[in-house]
Chains A and B, each alone.
Chain A
Amino acid sequence: MDFWQEIFIALRRNKLRTFLTGLAISWGIFILIVLLAAGNGLMTAVTDEFSSRSTNTYTLYGGFTSKPYKGHNENRWIHFTDKDIRLLENNFPHVEQVSPRINTSGNAIYNDRLNPISLNGVRPVFAKTNGVEMIMGRFIDELDEKNNEKVVVIDQTTQEQLFDFEEDPIGKLIFVNNIAYKVIGVWEGNPNSGGGEAYMPFSTLKKITNQNDYFMLNFTTYDLDTKEANEAFETYLRTQLANLHEFDPTDESSIYISSTMLNYLETNKILNTLQVFIWIIGIAMLISGIVGVSNIMRITVKERTNEIGIRKAIGAKSRSILASIVVESMIITTLFGYIGMWLGMVVADLSGNIISKAQEGNMVTINIVPSIDISIVLMATALLIVCGVLAGFFPARNAVKIKPIEAMNYR
């Protein structure tokens, strides 16, 4: 009880010293947390940007042959049919669902309003392969596909043109080329086109337009994580398709194969580097925080050498002086460390909100929202506190070792 009273008197009477020591500690922890949060935010932003796209999407385009092969002339157009879909889905263990793409265009009509629309027949997997972000309602599902449902997913531009602001478009019927389609969902739209891109079940559009040739196939793969696996897959794919369509497997222009996987691997490499970089910055910050805190503790103790000498001369034991200095520095570092941590988190949170608000309504956004793992915050704070206390302990131990007379005369 007396011990604590002594300490609180010392802290209260030395307000400036207490405050300056505390400020150094608060500032160190504050900066550390804000920086880690910013780094983390950048990391999250970049990761989000890439994860909205499927990571392993293949796109196949039909091309023109450049060599004669097995009695066929060169310059023959290769196009995909249901046979290709069956081949891909049955013979390739790594391939998930295949979505072909066919399209037709016209005007979408709702009540007295009209807007040009491009109807794309796709299968449900398309949402995944092309990263279709829904705003309301749902995307096409297997049942729509199976039952040739006349349903449509419109984009935001179309919704704004056809419907009133408050009107719920879901379940409403719109007309395209005299056929009624029920709106089941709205997606955010492609910012790079003028808008009007809509999706409907592949089976339905195929039946309506009677198309059997598909210029493009999309599919996702799984378990193809490495560059080597993807290259092997691509070679096998080319041979199989060459066999089916009877073109020279070495003829690169017959079909075009593009994979997001290799892009993704490349991006991943950058992300990993970025992560390492952020950690290095974080650790460097932590170290400079420790140095700062340690230094101020060291100076504080140095400043008290006289006092330590006096206390020893009048009969204080080294242990009791040491205990009071260590407890004092513990109180200061913990209290101000907590304040710095709290402020850092508040600032990280507030700036996160402000950035989110500022980005609202932008078509292309990279949201660098500062955010931070609470366990990292606590660990960093605890580490700084421990270092602060240790940094106070060692010079204090040296100071109590000095002979009282020298300590008293210390300037």
Chain B
Amino acid sequence: MIRLENINKTYFGAQPLHVLKGINLNVEDGEMVSIMGASGSGKSTLLNILGILDNYDTGDYYLNDKLVKDLTENQAAEMRNQLIGFIFQSFNLIPFKTAMENVALPLYYQNVNRKKRNQLALEYLERFGLKEWADHYPNELSGGQKQRVSMARALVTQPKIILADEPTGALDSKTSAEVMQILREVNQSGITMVIVTHERGIALRTNKIIHLKDGVIESIETNNPDQIDFNQEIK
């Protein structure tokens, strides 16, 4: 699903910053992977490159067997729209749109008609137990509800891969556990998942933990999340 070959990325500022130093990584179809590292380790940059939100300097990135390199903005937008669902720490919902409209928005950019859009959005909200909240605006929802809305939005286009950037960072431990439970279920339905986190408790709920330090992969830890009780709060 994801293949990274010797990816390098440098931010050219007043002080050039070499953030990713030759990353090689494979993520198989249907895998659930977490990327751990201290702040400044390059994990967010890596996720942005995976999400085609940022470009890289050298190396090759294959997504779904297609080389992602030198894409025009439109091509990038199209790929994001077709293949990738994003979940963000700060939810990134549009404040003046209702839960349903937020979920339906990616479909708007796929030119799905309004009726179909709203119907699909409602279905996904129902899956996440938010049907009654469909007409509420983000500021009327709790953190957990907001994250569930953003998960519904990420899934509504039926992407191949979900990229989550600290998905539980803004949530309490109980809600975090709920969110991870949902992500687990999503993964089990066959969608590849990459989660960036700095919480061990989150990483332990994934199959593979990639430890990133100073722009290089320090170690890859194989993990069996089945031994974890997913209903247990994350400390």
Asked if A pairs with B, the answer is: yes
User: Interface range on chain A: under 10, 10 to 19, 20 to 34, or 35 or more?
Assistant: 20 to 34
Asked if A266 CB lies within 8 Å of chain B CBs, one says: no
Asked if A307 CB lies within 8 Å of chain B CBs, one says: yes
Given contacts A313-B86, A314-B105, contact A403 B53 (CB under 8 A): yes
**Which A residue's beta carbon lies closest to that of B153?**
A314
Given contacts A6-B108, A10-B96, A408-B88, contact A315 B77 (CB under 8 A): yes
Q: Is the CB of A315 within 8 A of B92?
A: no
Asked if B69 CB lies within 8 Å of chain A CBs, one says: no
Given contacts A10-B96, A307-B94, contact A317 B78 (CB under 8 A): yes
Asked if A79 CB lies within 8 Å of chain B CBs, one says: no
Q: Is the CB of B77 within 8 A of A317?
A: yes
**Which A residue's beta carbon lies closest to that of B91?**
A310
What's the least CB distance linking B92 to chain A, in Å? 5
Asked if B37 CB lies within 8 Å of chain A CBs, one says: no
Instruction: Mark contacts of B51-86 with chain A using CB atoms, 8 A cut-off: 1 yes-contact digit, 0 otherwise.
Output: 101100000000000000000011001101110001
**Stretch in contact with the other chain, from B109-117, B177-185, B191-199, B210-218:** B109-117
Inter-chain contacts of A312 with B (CB < 8 A): 77
Q: Is the CB of A311 within 8 A of B53?
A: no
User: Interface range on chain B: under 10, 10 to 19, 20 to 34, or 35 or more?
Assistant: 20 to 34
Instruction: Mark contacts of B101-127 with chain A using CB atoms, 8 A cut-off: 1 yes-contact digit, 0 otherwise.
Output: 100011011100110000000000000
- Pick the contact of A315: B81, B88, B90, B113 (CB < 8 A): B81
Asked if B97 CB lies within 8 Å of chain A CBs, one says: yes
Q: Is the CB of A313 within 8 A of B51?
A: yes
A5 to B101, CA, bound (A): 12
A311 to B80, CA, bound (A): 11
Given contacts A13-B97, A315-B82, contact A2 B114 (CB under 8 A): yes
Inter-chain contacts of B157 with A (CB < 8 A): 315
Instruction: Mark contacts of A5-18 with chain B using CB atoms, 8 A cut-off: 1 yes-contact digit, 0 otherwise.
Output: 11001100110000
**Which B residue's beta carbon lies closest to that of A309?**
B92
Can you name 19 A-B pairs with beta carbons within 8 Å? Answer: A5-B114, A6-B108, A9-B97, A13-B97, A14-B96, A310-B92, A310-B93, A311-B105, A313-B53, A313-B80, A314-B109, A315-B77, A315-B80, A315-B82, A317-B74, A317-B78, A318-B74, A403-B54, A408-B90
